[in-house]
Amino acid sequence: MKLMTKTTCATLIAGAMLFGGSASAATKEESKWTTQYSNLKTGMTLSETAKVLYGKEYKKQLIQKSGSTILKKKADDSYSEQGQKSKVYVFANGKNQNIYTSLLFMTKKNSSVYRLIGKSLDVSRESSATGARESTRKLAKGATIKVGMTEKQLDAILSGTDLGEWTGLDSSDWTSVQSKSELALIGPVKSSLKIYVFPITTSKRKLVVMDYDYKKKTYRVGDQSSL
């Protein structure tokens, strides 16, 4: 799921035209879909997820197939491996369909119940220089972003306070579909990340991926590249 978000962001940025617009805060529409993303919890069954996506009419969006409850919406990808089945659904949201929600469901081994184990949210903007929702924060002249920096350390070399608006979110947690032996052997497989685009000059940008450090309970720079 993490790779899906990074790939989606890279595609949006690489394929975007240069409009030269300025960054701005989250719109009401963007906030709406961000709230929905927050309400989608890993471990939810597909039916529970559908209730968040569609509200009271969610049952009309479900069908039974091969003993499993799935969405009527055609899955963007389906596969089965070692007794576990998976489905990926991608939703193009917003008036201009520029807010993408991607959801990954998986069953336990030899089970028919799909559970949400991965989710991502990507916000694009044609009005920005890159096609991504850029942060309102700018990197200080001569400053260097280094892998391993905490949010606090990164904030210190940016204008204003905090990191501003992100362009992508991603979270995964396989606990609900891992067996007791897998949990005992490798522990819960989970990750969380945020992706930002920071302006440096009128023509240069930095793409920064922040990975969550569960031990230190903070996000750290996991990757960074120039645009």
**Dihedral of the alpha carbons of 84, 87, 88, 91, in degrees to the nearest 10:** -150
pLDDT at residue 26, rounded to an integer: 86
Q: What is the mean pLDDT of the chain?
A: 89
Dist CA 207 CA 205 (whole Å): 7
Higher pLDDT: 98 or 24? It is 98
Phi/psi at 204 (nearest 5 deg)?
-120, 145
pLDDT for residue 13 is more than 80: no
pLDDT for residue 18 is more than 90: no
pTM for this one?
0.87
